[in-house]
Amino acid sequence: MENFTDPAAPSPAPPASSPPGVASRLRDAVRIAFFLRVPEQRLRPGALEVAAAILLTLCVPTLYNAAVFGADGHLGVWEASQALFHIPMILIAASIAARLAQRDDAIATLLFATLIAWFVVDVATWVAWMGVESANPDGKRAVAPTVFYYAPVAWLSLAGARFAMALEAQSPSAAFG
């Protein structure tokens, strides 16, 4: 069956605003982590996207546990509290940053932006750590544990602050309600 359409008829309009795909979100995550501007409007997440971002941030610690402890035949489940510690800290930081910007409506956006940036920072740090470990077969670690503990936190703090500073200002009349 052939499809005959009128060439003079207007083409159908594209969907009004389709949700961003995974590739788009990952590009935004890389941009945030590397201090590049991402418009706030592109990062307005739904509850499921925030939940997915939280689960995404647990991937690297799980892989780390599998690589370090899994080789001995067990998985370091006791480190679950350490793997989850960043979530309330990022939520508190996002809440404080939104409050300082007088943008309480931006808490979810800041939380989401910081979580997806944390994934990028965590992956980059893990790749660097694997490189250091493979280049250091004798296992002597003088600086690496300290650097790999504090550098990612400092990196994320700066990236999150950079994103928060780029929030659009709320009008004074809306701020005082």
Give the contacts of 56 (CB within 8 A, at least 6 positions apart).
Answer: 115, 116, 119
Q: What is the pLDDT of residues 15-44, one digit of tens each?
A: 455 668 889 999 999 999 999 999 999 999
* Helix (H) or strand (E) segment spanning residue 107: helix 107-135
What one-letter code names the amino acid at 59? C
d(CA 54, CA 32): 16
pLDDT band at 169 (very low <50, low <70, confident <90, very high): confident
All structural domains of the chain with their residue ranges: 22-168
**In this predicted model, what pLDDT tens digit does every residue of 38-52 receive, in sequence order?**
999 999 999 999 999
Whether the per-residue pLDDT at 140 is higher than 80: the answer is no
72-105 CB burial, b ≥16 within 10 A, e <16:
eeeebeeeeeebeebbeebbebbeebbeebebee
